[in-house]
Structure 1
Amino acid sequence: MASYHCTVKAGASSSASAHAAYIERDGKYKTKSRGDLEAVESGNLPSWAERGSDFWKASDSYERANAKGYREYEVALPREMLPAQRLELVRDFIRQELGDRHAYTFAIHNPRATLEGGEQPHAHIMFSERQRDSIERPEAQYFKRWNAKNPEKGGCKKGDGYKSAEQRKTELVALRERWAFLQNGHLEKHGHVDRVDHRTLKERGIERMPTEHLGPTAAAMEQRGIPTRRGLAKAQREADVAEVAGIPELSRRLRADCVQLVKLEAAKPDPTPSPVKPDQVKPNPIQERRRQEEMSVQIVKMWREIVQKEREEHLQELTAKAFETAKAFSVHFQAHMDAEPMLFGRKAWEAKRVAMDRRYDRLKVDYDELKTGRYPFLSNDKEAVQKEVLKRATAKQPKLAAAQAPAETILRARDQREQEERMQRAREEDRIRQAKKAERGQDRGYSR
């Protein structure tokens, strides 16, 4: 099935030719173990570069040492497509994103998955940020600084100027959306029903934990039977995913069992029961009750772990906030100390200094107590803390929160029943002791 992957990377000015050789499987990368090259192509090259390798070697030689030598799009390709169809998809993506403005080299790799053995087609598209224009420049001038007043005297313009981190993030999200739209168009064009989506699971409303990619090295070690940190983390995540996925069904069964248990306890036994056929035998109420109690213990345990985790995260947030508040107040306090008057207004200044000093000491005490896990400023309102923690836990695990209340009810009923049974056993033991004591007294009377 089609899978989605689209990332943007940047390479240093001295590493372009080495990376180009890697994706082209050229030079030292031309080995039997890397026989996964499906297609390779370069375009938008200047007249002095016959091949893509010529351009990237010139980039390593003449590009500024502190500049980016290239940018790269790494995208996953649908394995259900034919090689020619994948090549067509990559070429359309390059025409859409790069046009005729940037020199580029791309390669399509199609290795075999280490564990499952299926195809893993993907493309590396590296391109120069230098924008081509109608001016022919020799290779030494091509990578010089852009001259806005006299373009023919400078190099090709590089990029679109400075961009903030927020702008780059917005552009990356837009790029990922365009790649998903283009890929879905080609899937539909070639008669495939699968589609991809660039959005996160949370944005799509899917309540599922994300998976983790092992990578070729860890996958190869796992295949040889060598445990790895990534493999153990992946196994634990898969177990967590399966456990979380079973919560809705567990909650549904628990509610149904609660209703059934109420009906069984309300029903009065018939003193003269009629013979029951084997196929009409109902489950043992005691066994059903024990099964419900075991499930309830698991649900309550999971819920308490989540609540504890949310409490710790809430405490960390408050601690960081308290630190920032104390830090900002210390700056304000220092400014007040620096503005100490020599004569006039000193009394008012001294009164404010004393109040600020007390306030600063209180902030430091609050911060120290938060670090030890206590809520100093909410010591008289613990319910507010608990409500906030439960609110955060419920927002993250709504289905588990819904199953927690019936589970708590079942466990309380179990505890009450066990307490009554202990009291009943104690009364019975006391009755037996009293009977034995009376019997021993009668025996002593007969002996006299």
Structure 2
Amino acid sequence: MASYHLSVKTIKRSARRSATAAAAYRVGERIECQREGRVHDYTRKQGIEETFILTPKDAPDWAQDRSRLWNEAEASETRRNSVTAREWELALPSEISAGARSQITRDFAQELVSRYGVAVDVAIHAPHREGDQRNHHAHVLTSTRKLEAEGFTTKTRVLDSAKTGGVEIEQMRGLWAELQNRALERAGEVERVDHRSLEKQRDAAQERGDKLSAEELDRDPELKLGPAANSMERRAKAMAERQGREYVPVTERGAVVHAARQARVAFR
């Protein structure tokens, strides 16, 4: 079943993080951080399906060099507590093809470039071996300054401001839902995603007089399993299928999630 996830995090020096390390880890490359004098080598990292960089049309040529790009981003910040990058983490629908997942991720990244004038570095990851095999996802790392012909310039304050940041992120959340739903429709899938909270979805259903949907949405958000429990439940499901028997959750969290899903299916 298609599910929605978009989260936005910041790469902060105050948390002892750097844009160079974040980029190297997500794309599985070796980047030497000139500011720290450290080498971040993740060339052995597996599960990376695709990486690419998108920049504004007047950006300098060196912006396509990942090491140079993120070292320049680090050099443009002088404060010890600077935010040097921003990460948008996206869940990708397993119901569509790898090519379609790549395209909607690229479309989302291009909108970030066009809307904020930033550099965008994308890594699309396959599901973890021990996790849910539907968990295709992308890490979209962006600069926190505009990238222009002369290099990094002004901060993207529209995303930093308490007044405008939430509004901007909500609009991007809506765009991500729209991109996924178009791809699901093209693939002939009936499932759709919704970026709104359950409460907002329920209110909308009530406003249009859809009592059945409103009642179905009158529930708590689904409990997150976490990597360890997810792995255990996946193995339990696979074993149940091999043995031709009904799947029985093996963790407390798994039981809660399974019961909630079964209740929703019965309700429909």
TM-score above 0.5, yes or no? yes
Matched, 1:126 2:141: yes
Question: Do the aligned partners of 1:43 and 1:105 also contact (CA within 8 Å) in 2?
Answer: yes
User: Is contact 1:63-1:69 (8 Å) kept?
Assistant: yes
Kept in 2: contact 1:211–1:234 (CA 8 A): no
The verdict on how the C-alpha distance between 1:167 and 1:126 changes in structure 2, with shifts beyond 3 A counting, is same
Whether the 8 Å CA contact 1:112–1:119 is kept in 2: the answer is: no
Looking at secondary structure, tell me which structure has more strand per residue: 2
Matching residue of 2:127: 111
**Partners of 1:238 and 1:193 in 2: CA distance:** 22
Specify the SS of the correspondent of 1:194.
coil
Distance 1:217 1:61, change over 3 A: farther
Match of 1:185 among 182, 187, 211: 182
The separation in 2 between residues aligned to 1:224 and 1:185, in whole angstroms, is 33
What one-letter code is carried by the residue in structure 1 that aligns with 2:42?
Y
Contact conserved, 1:211 with 1:238, CA < 8 A, in 2?
Answer: no
Change (3 A) 1:119 1:234: closer
CA distance in 2, matches of 1:193, 1:157: 43
CA contact (8 A) 1:113 1:120 kept: no
> 1 or 2, which has the higher helix percentage?
1
SS of the residue aligned with 2:197? coil
SS in 2 for 1:127: strand
Distance 1:189 1:63 in 2: 43
> 2:245 corresponds to which residue?
none
Q: How many angstroms apart in 2 are the aligned matches of 1:243 and 1:77? A: 24
Selected match of 1:136 from 118, 136, 150: 150
Alignment correspondent of 2:118: 102
Give CA-to-partner distance per residue, 1:311-359, whole Å, 9 cap, x none. xxxxxxxxxxxxxxxxxxxxxxxxxxxxxxxxxxxxxxxxxxxxxxxxx
> Equivalences for 1:2-401 in 2 at 5 Å?
2-13=2-13, 14-27=17-30, 28-31=41-44, 34-44=45-55, 46-64=60-78, 65-99=80-114, 101-112=117-128, 114=130, 118-133=133-148, 135-137=149-151, 142=152, 156-160=153-157, 164-205=161-202, 206-220=217-231, 231-236=251-256, 241=260
What is the one-letter code of the residue matched to 1:60? E
**Rounded Cα–Cα distance in structure 2 between residues aligned with 1:76 and 1:8:** 12
Q: CA deviation at 1:203?
A: 2.2
Which residue of structure 1 aligns with residue 242 of structure 2? none
- 1:40 CA displacement: 0.3
Contact 1:16 1:69 (8 Å CA) reproduced:
yes
Identity between Structure 1 and Structure 2 (%):
34
The residue type equivalent to 1:2 in the other structure is: A
Q: Give the secondary-structure state (helix, strand or coil) at the position aligned to 1:132.
A: strand
Distance 1:59 1:242 in 2: 44
Amino acid at match of 1:106: V
Provide Cα deviations, 1:251-282, integer angstroms capped at 9, x if missing partner. Answer: xxxxxxxxxxxxxxxxxxxxxxxxxxxxxxxx
TM-score, scaled to structure 1: 0.44
Which gives a bigger RCO, structure 1 or 2 (Cα 8 Å, sep 6+)?
2
- SS of corresponding position for 2:230: helix
The answer to whether the 8 A contact 2:94-2:136 is kept is: yes
Equivalent pairs, count: 221
CA distance in structure 2 between the partners assigned to 1:242 and 1:111 by the alignment: 22
- Root-mean-square deviation (CA, aligned residues, Å) is 3.2
Return structure 1 stretches of 4+ with deviation > 4 angstroms: 161-164, 220-225, 236-239, 242-245
Structure number with larger C-alpha Rg: 1
Deviation at 1:11, TM superposition (A): 0.5
In structure 2, the CA distance between the partners of 1:170 and 1:177, relative to structure 1 (3 Å rule), is same
